[in-house]
């Protein structure tokens, strides 16, 4: 007779088969791990930190009292996470609440399934923790890996929440330079559609109202050499890959876009640069503006098409 029939599984929760945990309430890291792994010895749980096997949102953490907030992701690695020497990111602005950088093309904003360490988030985490190991940063918004330009992170949970809670009302301008193939039929215009994700994890437009997330993109052609055109683009909504999808569907692909465009890659990178971010500071009520100049290879391509 099978005595186990109908009984619920009593398998212990083990960090060896649980790699990624979402935080739902404020806590200190060690207390959080104790709560997650109640059936493990306290010393074995502590050893996860002392052996450098724990990261929070892609940044390796070893201090027991590190503060966690809702939305954080704690990752348990099978081996020690080594800190690598990292090149400095160009900092446009920094105060007690915010850091604004000029992100280079080719650098992820945050960790992905395939890349955990080489990210702007990880580099900025290392930067603030040089002053105090308890310091941390919080993601406010993101740029695609291939997009360069203005990227802002918060230095405390309070301002991250204040910015994200009313992001579309707080942000007054998000400006981009885009280099596209060909010449636009109209020198300026607006794309409006509802973006959805397909089975290949790619975004596409639906014209049917409410069928997806509303996305609005404005453009103005400011220069062309017949082969390529430079556009000044602004967005009213911040949907995933929004600019690339809208321009690609218009037939004027962003250069270097192998996801929504064509293989042509005349400058060896995606032709998209976030040049301006303006918003109302939630604590001071003042409008602040940050800018990153257009990359030289954008100008060079328009002057000397390849």
The structure tokens listed for 236 are 């009213």
- As to burial, measured by CB atoms within 10 angstroms (0-12 exposed, 13-18 middle, 19+ buried), residue 253 is buried
Helices assigned H by DSSP within 166-241: 167-170
Examine the residue annotation and report whether 144 is marked as an active-site residue of this protein: yes
30: Cα within 13 Å, side-chain hemisphere:
13
Confirm if 118 and 125 have CB atoms less than 8 A apart. Answer: no
| Cβ neighbours for 161, distance < 8 A, ≥ 6 positions apart | none
Spatial separation of the C-alpha atoms in residues 270 and 242, rounded to whole Å: 14
Q: Which residues pair with 68 in a beta bridge?
A: 27
Retrieve residue 168's tokens: 């579309």
Q: Is 38 exposed, middle or buried (0-12, 13-18, 19+ CB in 10 A)?
A: exposed
From 57, 72, 144, 257, the catalytic residue: 144
Note the helical H segments in the chain: 29-36, 42-50, 120-129, 157-165, 167-170, 242-249, 296-303
Can you tell me the distance from the alpha carbon of 129 to that of 109, in angstroms, rounded to the nearest whole number? 18
Three-state DSSP state, 124: helix
How far apart, in whole angstroms, are the C-alpha atoms of residue 146 and residue 237? 19
* Exposure class string for 132-166: b at 16+ Cβ within 10 A, else e: eeeebbbbbbbbbbbbbbbbbbbbbbebbbbbeee
Query: What is the set of active-site residues?
Result: 144
């Amino acid at each position: 007779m099978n005595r186990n029939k109908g009984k619920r599984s009593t398998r212990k929760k083990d960090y060896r088969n649980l790699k990624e945990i979402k935080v739902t309430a404020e806590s200190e890291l060690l207390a959080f791990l104790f709560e997650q792994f109640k059936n493990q010895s306290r010393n074995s749980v502590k050893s996860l930190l002392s052996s450098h096997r724990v990261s929070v949102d892609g940044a390796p953490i070893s201090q027991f009292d590190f503060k966690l907030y809702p939305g954080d992701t704690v990752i348990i690695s099978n081996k020690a996470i080594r800190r690598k020497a990292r090149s400095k990111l160009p900092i446009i602005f920094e105060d007690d609440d915010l850091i604004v950088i000029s992100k280079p093309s080719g650098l992820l904003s945050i960790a992905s399934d395939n890349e955990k360490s080489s990210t702007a988030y990880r580099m900025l985490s290392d930067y603030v923790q040089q002053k105090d190991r308890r310091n941390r940063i919080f993601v406010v918004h993101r740029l695609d890996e291939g997009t360069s330009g203005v990227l802002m992170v918060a230095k405390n949970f309070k301002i991250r929440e204040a910015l994200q809670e009313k992001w579309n009302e707080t942000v007054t301008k998000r400006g981009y330079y885009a280099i596209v193939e060909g010449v636009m039929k109209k020198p300026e215009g607006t794309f409006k559609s509802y973006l959805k994700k397909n089975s290949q994890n790619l975004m596409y437009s639906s014209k049917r109202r409410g069928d997806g997330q509303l996305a609005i993109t404005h453009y103005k052609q400011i220069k062309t050499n017949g082969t390529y055109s430079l556009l000044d683009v602004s967005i009213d909504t911040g949907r995933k890959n929004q600019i690339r999808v809208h321009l690609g569907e218009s037939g004027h692909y962003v250069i270097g876009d192998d996801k929504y465009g064509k293989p042509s890659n005349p400058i060896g990178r995606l032709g998209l640069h976030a040049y301006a971010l303006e918003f109302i500071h939630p604590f001071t009520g003042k409008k602040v503006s940050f800018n990153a100049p257009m990359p030289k290879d954008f100008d060079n391509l328009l002057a000397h098409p390849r």
